[in-house]
Amino acid sequence: MPDFKPFRAVRPPRDRAHLVGSRSYINYSDDGLRDKLKGNPYTFLHVIMPETKYDDFKNLELQERFGLVKKEYRRFLKKKYLLQDETPNFYLYRQTKKKNQYIGIIGGIASCDYDNGLIKKHEQTLTKREALFKKYLETTSFNAEPVLLAYQDSEVVNRITEKVLSERPEYEFFTTDKVKHELWVINDKARQGKITEEIKKIGALYIADGHHRSASSALLSRECLKEEESQKSHFMAMLIPKSSLKIFEYNRVIKDLNGLSVDDFIQKLSQEFKIKKLEKAYNPKKKHAFGMYIDNSWYRIKLKKSSLESGIIEQLDTYLLTHKILTPILGIKDLKTDNRAGFISGVDGLDAIQHAVNNKNFKIGFTLFPASFEDLKKVSDANLTMPPKSTWIEPKLRSGLTIYNLMD
């Protein structure tokens, strides 16, 4: 039974929420990041990127760097850019991006649920990164962005959500990427109790985004077992029903044809795929078919039934593309390390594939049919892991809108 509880969030005042919440720094160009830091004294980027204020930052040990993050966090608290709620709450968050709405409840989830298999994963984690993030948490003492956990829809939770959505939000603002953000504070004890009770009935939660953060939080919690009431026994998560989750494909682009001509490549491809040249860009409409862009032309390539393998992982299109095309024909042995391979999320559209290939950076692009929540669930339930870059999952959450204090 997952243990999901309210907590006393540290968060910006209503009139500064739109200024404090930030995207990950990797989403900014160097110039954009400098402009953001220079022009907005409230952005949470000042906390998570203190290197912009300290000339000798690169010469510091990791512990000292993390210490500066904590120092900036305390500065934000002192200046009251961030305030801590007096009572524990759940927080309902809605993000509206183009035609999609993403709605979930933010709270504290028990770290032990990761260890006992109630929080299920579909990606491998690296031990070194787990240890690094654990050290970061130990030093900074906060979670700034919720882990995203998906679950099978609950009618009771959905009804509570609908009632809360009819009330006035605490935050309501647009960001410059044309995304609308809204947040409601759920402080009613009856509602809180019902949410906790219903989540316990669900049985399992599935990591949609935040595998390493979940693993490092569990690692930290194991070392703090003596602190029975410690905040470190939980970490911040947003629980989102599968009906509100959106899984996009993660398309591939490759820099060369491994010494083959286009005709030779297509001839080799035809041994296991049916190939049809198209007049326009193509996104697959079902599994086991792929779009292919090469030499200014689009193709639909469909795996022959005789080439289909059995097994949960073997049915995934990311597996099939790698093991039927990328490795045997194009010589891509490891997607994680081969710099000939690139990835473009389905959110960016087919134009991004064409742009990458037409600009000569890449020779060929492949579009995939997106994995489903059921695919993710099957893999997780079987304790398996998906191939690298199998999913692009929305929503992407902001840092600093709700913060979980590990030293409450």
The whole-number pLDDT of residue 227 equals: 54
Indicate the SS3 state at residue 331: coil
Q: Does 190 reside within a domain?
A: yes
Q: Note whether 80 and 124 are same-domain residues.
A: yes
Total-model pTM: 0.93
Q: Note whether 114 and 235 are same-domain residues.
A: yes
Indicate the SS3 state at residue 265: helix
Q: Are 20 and 401 a contacting pair, CB within 8 Å?
A: yes
Q: Does 385 reside within a domain?
A: no
Q: Does 387 reside within a domain?
A: no
What's CA 183's distance to the chain center, in Å? 19
Q: Note whether 52 and 177 are same-domain residues.
A: yes
Distance CA 174, CA 96 (A): 9
Q: Note whether 168 and 137 are same-domain residues.
A: yes
The whole-number pLDDT of residue 343 equals: 95
Q: Note whether 285 and 198 are same-domain residues.
A: no
Distance CA 112, CA 108 (A): 12
Residue with tokens 């985004």: 209
The whole-number pLDDT of residue 116 equals: 93
The tens digit of pLDDT for each residue in 49-76 reads 888 787 788 888 888 999 999 999 999 9
Nearest CA among 303, 306, 280 for reference residue 293: 280
Domain range enclosing 117? 4-246+395-405
Q: Note whether 325 and 192 are same-domain residues.
A: no
Parts of the chain with a pLDDT under 50: none
Per DSSP (E only), the strands in 242-321 are 246-248, 250-254, 273-278, 289-294, 297-303
Residue 390 has a CB neighbour count (10 Å cut-off) of: 23
The tens digit of pLDDT for each residue in 11-47 reads 999 999 999 999 877 777 777 778 888 899 999 999 9
Q: Note whether 229 and 175 are same-domain residues.
A: yes
Q: Does 68 reside within a domain?
A: yes
Nearest CA among 186, 120, 196 for reference residue 378: 120
Q: Note whether 50 and 159 are same-domain residues.
A: yes
Q: Note whether 275 and 187 are same-domain residues.
A: no
The whole-number pLDDT of residue 308 equals: 74
Residue with tokens 């064409």: 354
